[in-house]
Amino acid sequence: MSRPHRLSARGDGDQAVPREPGRGHRRGRTSTPTRPATVAGRRRRAGLLAGRRPTLTTRPDGDPELDGADDPPDGPDRRRIALAALVAAAAISAATLVAGLLTWIPGRTDETGTARPLTAAEADRVAALRVTNLRDVRAGVRVTVGAGTARTELVGWVDWARPLVYLDVGGPGAGGDRGLVQATASALLVRPDPGALPTPARPPLVPPADRWRMRSPAGGHGLGAVRDLLIGLGADRVDPPAEGRWLRGDRAGGVPVDVLQAPLAPLGDPRPALWVDADARLHRLTGRLADSTPVTVDLTRADRATVHPVDALGGRAGQPRAPTDDEAARLAALPARLRALRGAPVAVDAPLAPSANLRATGTVNWASPSAYLAVSEEGSGRRTLRWVRPGRVAEVPRSSDGPATPPAPVPAALLAAPAGPPGDDLDRLLDAALRAARRAPAGDAVRVREDRLGGRTTVDVFEVPGGRRWWLDRGGLPHRLELRTGPGVWIRLDLTAGRAAGSGGSAASTAR
């Protein structure tokens, strides 16, 4: 029978440490100096050094488990198993990280979401999308049509209130469309620029004044399809709610959006993807045009620059109002001013149709009255000479290599040509200019805006009945007459007031 272990008042000696469940413990030691080794202790250490497990002896307190002597040794097999487990865990973590990086898409917030039918609130947002665009008036746009080397890119703005589209066209597939585009719902004008940079940029806020020509908007594809899509994104009434699907959550331009798949009226694709925010604002759409060409439209809602239409599309909107008494007096004095001028050199810019972008130079004589012009058609190079009297027009072909101005005297062939009623809008424009010397414009006139010609002359633009606009300076001198055509394009006749008309106009008038 062993003696009980004695504990001193200071805690000297070996103290038994309570055993945690499932774990052996070495004996605890106090902070006092270690006791001298006993013979049994020396024997145990010698056995350990010799690689032999010491014979278990009973502790003086009678509990052999408290010193951990029964714990199995930490052999090399256990260490290898632990190391292998750590290596495997590290490999799995690395593989998971790489897979996540390969499948991650910037801005995608709910890539793993499951598609589901639209809720009533989501369907209402799609239905209100086009009305929201009209309420916001305008936005910046970037359009991509096609893919790869056939890709066409367009950058600019859409104004849903006017409505008007103004774009710079580029990309590897732009071809002959490279340049600037302005379009309304009824007319499409282009300003080709084959030497422009391949990558489009925002067009100048104030568009160039020259070299605009009408383009046929081919249905279902090309510039016409893009024009129809962009303008069609605005409407003054809510669309009927349609069935669709919620695809996922996302972000567009830093704004949380829902990606929805639902029909959209101006797009040929019955199931485009729409990036719509909580306020029913469209930020992006992807789908296909009527000819199955893929199209992507990105809208920059904060880019709301004011779009200035070219003069052929009506020019700046201004603030139309009734003329003041002084302005009305200038309009009433117009016939007398024209007769006093007797005549003036004129230049005509008349984009009448895709195959009739006409330019003309010549003279107008209000004393006769008559007009004599050389007319050329851009594209085909066809040239003619026209002689116009009120209600009567004569025309003959002209050599394509002749000068741009009409020859003097008037050719005998033109004098002998049969005259008929005005045949196109250019004839109507010249006829209106000649008749303006007879009487003042009848009916209510509208002062459209103040404008400048050549950056120097300040004029007031007046619209009178019959789709005509007179540009008069503050002294009442006329500088331009515009005529609105069927497609909504304004053709113009610029007068160089103060210069005498050439002899061609006088000769033509005296010949008949």
Supply 298's token pair: 């990105």
Point out the domain boundary residue: 243, 271, 300.
300
Instruction: Give me the residue label for tokens 């058609």.
Output: 377
User: Number of structural domains, the chain?
Assistant: 2
3-class secondary-structure state, position 364: strand
Residues 418 and 380 in one domain: yes
In a domain, 94, yes or no: no
Residues 343 and 418 in one domain: yes
In a domain, 216, yes or no: yes
| Predicted TM-score of the model (pTM) | 0.74
Point out the domain boundary residue: 238, 266, 300.
300
CATH number at residue 339: 2.50.20
Give the pLDDT confidence score for residue 345 in this predicted structure.
96
Instruction: Give me the residue label for tokens 């609105």.
Output: 484
Point out the domain boundary residue: 300, 333, 362.
300
Q: Judge whether 12 and 32 are in contact, CB under 8 Å.
A: yes
Q: Judge whether 101 and 93 are in contact, CB under 8 Å.
A: no
In Å, how far are 32, 164, 314, 334, 428 from 468, measured between CA atoms? 114, 21, 11, 14, 11
In a domain, 442, yes or no: yes
Residues 243 and 391 in one domain: no
Give the pLDDT confidence score for residue 299 in this predicted structure.
98
Q: Is the omega angle on the peptide bond into residue 163 within 30 degrees of 0, that is, cis?
A: yes
Give the pLDDT confidence score for residue 415 in this predicted structure.
87
Give the pLDDT confidence score for residue 269 in this predicted structure.
76
In a domain, 295, yes or no: yes
Residues 351 and 476 in one domain: yes
In a domain, 18, yes or no: no
Q: H helices of 305-424, where?
A: 325-332, 334-341, 412-416
Rg (CA), the chain: 44
Residues 231 and 286 in one domain: yes
In a domain, 83, yes or no: no
Distance separating alpha carbons of residues 436 and 398, to the nearest angstrom: 29
Residues 295 and 339 in one domain: no
Residues 500 and 385 in one domain: yes
Closest by Cα among 353, 351, 138 to 234: 138
Residues 339 and 294 in one domain: no
Q: Is the omega angle on the peptide bond into residue 409 within 30 degrees of 0, that is, cis?
A: yes
Residues 363 and 418 in one domain: yes
How many other CB atoms sit within 10 Å of the CB of residue 429? 26
Alpha carbons within 13 A on the beta-carbon side of 316 = 14
Q: Is the omega angle on the peptide bond into residue 106 within 30 degrees of 0, that is, cis?
A: no
In a domain, 97, yes or no: no
Mean pLDDT by 10 residues, the chain (512 residues): 45 46 46 46 45 44 45 57 65 53 41 80 96 97 95 97 96 92 95 89 93 80 92 94 93 94 83 96 95 95 94 93 97 96 95 87 95 91 93 93 87 92 95 95 94 89 97 96 95 83 43 38
Residues 163 and 278 in one domain: yes
Give the pLDDT confidence score for residue 379 in this predicted structure.
76
Give the pLDDT confidence score for residue 361 in this predicted structure.
96
Report the amino acid identity of residue 407. P
In Å, how far are 151, 227, 294, 380, 504 from 174, measured between CA atoms? 7, 15, 15, 22, 44
Residues 273 and 332 in one domain: no
What is the torsion angle, in degrees rounded to the nearest 10, for the CA atoms of residue 360, residue 365, residue 369 and residue 374? Answer: -20
Domain range for 223 = 116-300
Residues 295 and 330 in one domain: no
Q: Judge whether 452 and 459 are in contact, CB under 8 Å.
A: yes
In a domain, 265, yes or no: yes
